[in-house]
Structure 1
Amino acid sequence: MEQRKAASLTWQGCLSKQTRQTVSRMANNAFRKFIILWFGELVSSIGSGLTAFGLGVYVFQTTHSATAVSLVTLCTFLPMILLSPVGGVLADRFDRRLMMLLGDGGSALGLIYILIVMFSGEAQLWQLCVGVTISSIFASLTDPAYKATITDLLPEEQFAKASGLVQLAGSSKYLFSPVLAGMLLAVVDIEALLIIDISTVFITIITISAVRRCLVAKPVSKKKFSLAKDLKEGWRILVSRKGVFTLTLLMTVVTFYMGILQTLFTPMVLPLSNAKTLGIVQSVSATGLLLGSLFIGVFNVNQRYTRVLSVGLLVAGIFFSLIGVSSNIYVIAAAGFLFFATLPFVNTSADVLIRTNIPNEAQGRAWGMIGVVSQFGYVAAYASAGLLSDHIFNPLMDEGGLLASTVGKWIGSGQGRGIGLLFIISGILVIVLALIMARMKSIRALETK
């Protein structure tokens, strides 16, 4: 934290010695480099979204099982989550731009494998799992290096603005990809989506290379490289900051409920419509992410991060529940829109509170460890969502089910309505989490440091 303050004082010192015009030009130049990097990640996110949507529809239509969808999703994210601390260590030890190049380029190998399998005949579930696992292993190099590079590029005053734009790029897989994929699947097969995703790798490689030429990679440490030691150091950095560690654990709970929604949204909506309608509903919902991210990117959020975090989470819980209360597509889309509109405020607040409490030279290791801890909620959700849906909640709400004649009178019964009930309960629990978070002194203290 002292080094973070020193960096901030150095920036402020520059302000006192140079004219406003010069300082503004320096800041704008740094932000332009960030925009180049951000554009590459935007394209990559859209491509990944096409593949994710296509595989979700393909698996559900061929297996009619939410558990199968959940398994593919688990294989997509588990290696990336488990290996993110390793990616964080490498991001602190080696050229961060090089790590992103290897991650984005290597992730295409898994997609190529799936494409070959599909051209040879109908892909088996285990083959899809192998392909997405390979892609995920390489992708684990990208995220810690990407987040750490943002800290390299920008002054602290631009962190919140950058975070809003990063969330905008991340939301593109939910905003643009579903409607594009839904329309494309009406005229082409899933193989076309995979080819498009593979092609986007070239664009991201070009943008990362451009930023790499503009910047000189800074050697962070001259100590002898030891993966085990650096992983242990990343954990020590995380747990030594009580507020950061507590916030990370709470965000793990948030990611669990996000994983439930992400995994089961398709099995809930697809029985009510078709792939094209599903894509439109997902894109309409994700428009909330776009507007929320744009609001933060344009107007910024410079203070009261803890209040924004707790209030945003409380409102998100309300709209999460509303996604499940009706089988009407328009109600689902509206509730989804409002839910996703709150997420940028939650994510930005958490991001800034954590980023400003970790030294720059430890950003890679810290983000790698934070990633594996906070995103363990996704792992738990992907492992359990399908089972909860297929074996508990859907049977309760099917015609003749235990709750079909009671709860079913309010939210409807039949295929997929058990998932709606699960969403309602999840939203209520998110509201409870928000109320708890608002009263935690260790989290409020992060804003005063």
Structure 2
Amino acid sequence: MNESKHNTQFLGLLGQSSTFISAFSVAQVCLTWYVFSFTGSAVAVGLVAILETLAALLVSLPVGTLVDRLNKGMLLAVSGVAGFAVFLILSFNVLFFSFDMAAVLMLAVVWGASREITRSAGLSALPDVVTSGTIAKSNGIYRALRSSLESISNALAGGLIVALGVLSGFLFSAGAYLASALFAAFILLPFLKSKTATHPSGQEKKPSMLEDLKEGFRWLVARKGFFLLTVSATFFNFFMDMIITYYVIYVAVGINATSLVYGLILSALAAGDVSGSLIGGRLNLLKYSGKINVVLFGGIPGLCILAMGIVPGIYTAILFTFIVGLCFGISVNVWLTTAHNIVPPNMRGRYFAIDGALSSISPVAIAAGAAVIALYGIMVDFIISGILMVLFTFVFASMRSLWKLDGRVHKERPANEAT
């Protein structure tokens, strides 16, 4: 049996990640529905998403340097406490006050920052709690469990809204965020303390956070294929962000369905991701890392999104969304294992932060999606996004260093040598 399954620290990371993603998934569905039900506005929904994402983007680079300097378990615990506070406050707002858009926006900023802390710290921590030979399979387990719970939580959120109201979803999220903080504080924090990066004792002065970031950028840019993989993800994420925030409008307006259908469609995305994560963890795909990320992260999802815009319907939406999730599961698992193999341990926090910053131009994409919807409707937004993803698949497939990228373990090359 896989050694990682017996590893207390790995199980602790799974517990922290599982409770955090459950909290986030329920919160995302409930908050989106809460805002749209009171405002009826795509702009309002988009504004919440923009501020949440912008907060994550602004803290991503500083967080990356902190992940390489501080205890990852402590950072994960702080992130969980922040999420708990946000949704406890929102619960009180629902109970005792009327809808307050300004309060929602301020809390969305804190929520976004906490999400980025968990993202960078969690992705960087996984290689610290498993052996090097189990990283690919552990990534598969890690992502499959997260996606399974995301699927369940999305459906649960829709059911909670219908049966008990949005307050029940906010309270569930607050409790799950608190549980994630406890996993991090009592299992991960003591172990990861010994894994925290330190500077050589003979070094008189630690480099500044800015110098650390510059070092991370130089390292990434010098590896051309790996850098282009991140650039390609920036474009594909942009086109996905044009539509993913507005699934609620696709469901409510485009196909005239209920919140339960909204939850089921998001669950199909997560269910596909589960299957893809397990496939990516089991098959030996790292040799084809570049090809997989171009085709499965861009091309096939683009065709599915285009089809959803041309042939709208509940069943077609569930089917194509599942295929998108399947492709994402395989490609993200391959990318993540590639990163764990290539990036030096003392630079993983900065790498994942830089990747997040470069790939998270979501506010612009969300604004673009809102503008297209306001002018032409939700279906046109899906069609445009799908066409652009397919076109850029051909663009990145023509870049040889990306197309030939090998994600297997290899010796570290000099910083001035491109991959």
Q: TM-score range by the shorter chain?
A: 0.7 to 0.9
Local SS of the residue matching 2:310:
coil
Q: Deviations over 1:128-150 (max 9, x none)?
A: 11111122223332221111111
Distance 1:110 1:427, change over 3 A: same
In the other structure, the counterpart of 1:123 is 99
2:376 pairs, out of 360, 370, 393, with: 393
Q: Which moved more, 1:203-212 or 1:321-330?
A: 203-212
Count the aligned residue pairs.
399
Structure-2 residue corresponding to 1:253: 235
CA RMSD of aligned residues (A): 2.3
Question: Unaligned stretches of 5+ in structure 2?
Answer: 200-204, 411-419
- For 1:166 and 1:75, the matched residues in 2 are separated by 28
Name the counterpart of 1:406: none
Q: CA 1:331–1:257 in structure 2 vs 1: closer, same or farther (change >3 Å)?
A: same
Is the contact made by 1:96 and 1:217 (CA closer than 8 Å) also made in structure 2?
A: no
**Is structure 2 residue 199 aligned with structure 1 residue 217?**
no
Deviates more, 1:175-184 or 1:347-356: 347-356
Partner of 1:369: 354
- Provide the C-alpha distance between the structure 2 equivalents of 1:154 and 1:435, rounded to a whole number of angstroms: 37
The answer for unaligned runs of 5 or more in structure 1 is 1-23, 395-418
Amino acid at match of 2:138: A
1:232 CA displacement: 2.5
User: How far off its partner does 1:62 sit?
Assistant: 1.6
What is the SS of the residue equivalent to 2:18?
A: helix
Find the residue that maps to 1:327 and give its secondary structure: coil
The secondary structure found in structure 2 opposite 1:447 is coil
Check conservation: 1:168, 1:294, Cα contact below 8 A.
yes
| Pair 1:234–1:113, CA change in 2 (3 A) | farther
Superimposed CA distance per residue, residues 74-98 of structure 1 (whole angstroms, 9 cap, x where no aligned partner): 1222111221111111111111111
- Does structure 1 conserve the Cα–Cα contact (< 8 Å) formed by 2:229 and 2:290? no
1:31 shift after superposition: 5.0
Per-residue CA deviations over 1:294-341 (Å, capped at 9, x if unaligned) read: 323444644322232233232222112112222321111111112211
The structure 1 residue matched to 2:55, chosen from 79, 93, 98, is: 79
Is the contact between residue 93 and residue 219 of structure 1 (CA under 8 Å) also seen in structure 2?
A: yes
C-alpha distance in 2 between matches for 1:175 and 1:62: 26
- Residues 160-204 of structure 1 show CA distances to partners (whole Å, capped at 9, x for unaligned) of 323333433443465122211111111212121111111012321
Spell out, residue by residue over 1:115-135, the C-alpha distance to the aligned partner (whole angstroms, 9 max, x if none): 222222222222111111122
Structure 1 counterpart of 2:111: 135
Q: CA deviation at 1:389?
A: 0.9
Alignment CA distance shift 1:234-1:383 (3 Å): farther
The aligned amino acid for 2:358 is: V
Q: Pick which of 355-364 and 63-72 moved more.
A: 355-364
Relative distance call for 1:77 and 1:170 in structure 2 (3 A) is farther
- The alignment status of 1:420 with 2:376, answered yes or no, reads no
Moved more, 178-187 or 351-360: 351-360
SS in 2 for 1:220: coil
Give the 3-state SS of the residue equivalent to 1:168 in structure 2.
Answer: helix
- Alignment partners' CA distance in 1, 2:157 and 2:132: 37
Counterpart of 1:447 (choices 406, 413, 419) is: 406
The residue that corresponds to 1:148 in the other structure is 124
- The answer to whether 1:321 aligns with 2:280 is no
Q: Does structure 1 residue 280 correspond to structure 2 residue 239? A: no
Structure 2 distance, partners of 1:34, 1:300, is 22
Q: Alpha-carbon deviation of 1:206?
A: 3.0
TM-score, scaled to structure 2? 0.88
Letter in 1 for 2:306: S
For 2:262 and 2:114, locate their aligned partners in 1 and report how far apart those are by CA, in whole Å: 29
Paired with 1:274 and 1:219, the residues of 2 have a C-alpha distance of: 47
Of residues 358, 361, 368, the one that matches 2:343 is: 358
1:262-341 equivalence runs, <5 A: 262-271=244-253, 272-299=256-283, 301-312=285-296, 313-341=298-326
Q: TM-score, normalised by structure 1?
A: 0.82
4+ residue runs over 6 A deviation: none
Pick from 346, 361, 366: which aligns with 1:382?
366
